[in-house]
Chain A
Amino acid sequence: MSVNGYLSEEERSILESATVGIAGAGGLGSNCAAHLVRSGVRHFVIADFDVVSASNLNRQFFFCDQVGQKKVDALRENLLRIEPALQLEMHDIKITTLNIHEIFRSCCIVAEAFDTTESKSMFLRALSSSKKMLVSVSGIAGWGKSNEIQLKKVGKNLILIGDFKSGVDAQTLQFPASPRVGIAAAMQANSIIASLLGHPL
């Protein structure tokens, strides 16, 4: 069985042989993973240390009855419901500069799906000199401004998505919400598939 019946044999083979890393299983990571599974990617390395909370349900690919579960366990369950034949390497761990290279060693592409500036910056500092393709997000808080979400190719191996200014900030009531986080997660998945298949970003 194949989730995506529109793929050619060659496309299916490319997507099924790739291993995609996802650093963080929150709003970006959980939704990006679901898009990738529906598109034909079969091998994933996903890392997150957090548990599903009720406040995550406004945007993350989890359900009410999963509140309290580790995100990597809940996401494994949900992805396997889309496609049972996945190979999922899930890490219940906080990603740091000390373990990030080892965790994503087997991945040709890694999506940055963190929520804090510190984690995002750590990811970029640690991996930007590697040969892996990186897909990172900056600036997706709030509502509207859909046309301001851009995709930029930076350097030789970094794709940046976002408006680069709308950060989550409780003081200015800028919160992450499903539509804009979802747009960015879908753009991450779209650019990963395009990179793997050799299509324009």
Chain B
Amino acid sequence: MKIIYQDRELETASSTLTQFLMEHKLAGNTLILEYNEEILNSSPGNLPERPLAAGDRINVFSVVAGG
């Protein structure tokens, strides 16, 4: 199935959002996870259980120190 990851089309075998995040090593306390325009918690142990569907949009942004 094809999804949109970081604004680019990507083929994935993952059937859930959690599987996708684990596959791409994206779980973490310092990540912002955007799934179909919804901001979700991506901290380990709190990964969101959502079925993935073709065309789903996933974006991930790193939170780094500085201010």
Contact = CB atoms under 8 A, between A and B. Distances in A.
Interface of A: 24, 26-29, 113-118, 120-121, 124-125, 128-129, 137-141, 152, 154-156, 158, 160, 162, 164-169, 176, 181
Nearest to A134: B39
Interface in B12-67: 29-30, 32, 34, 37-39, 41, 43, 59, 61-67
Contacts, number: 82
Contact of B66 (A115, A154, A158): A115
A128 B32 CA distance: 10
A30 B45 CA distance: 36
B41 to A, nearest CB: 6
A158 B65 contact: no
Contacts of A160: 32, 61
Contact of B39 (A139, A141, A154): A154
Contacts of B66: 115, 137-141, 166-168, 176, 181
Interface residues of B, number: 17
Nearest to A155: B39
A137 B61 CA distance: 11
Nearest to B62: A164
B24 to A, nearest CB: 16
Contact of A125 (B37, B41, B61, B62): B41
Given A124-B32, A138-B61, A154-B61, A114 B37 contact: no
A112 to B, nearest CB: 8
A124 B39 contact: yes
Contacts of A117: 29-30, 63-65
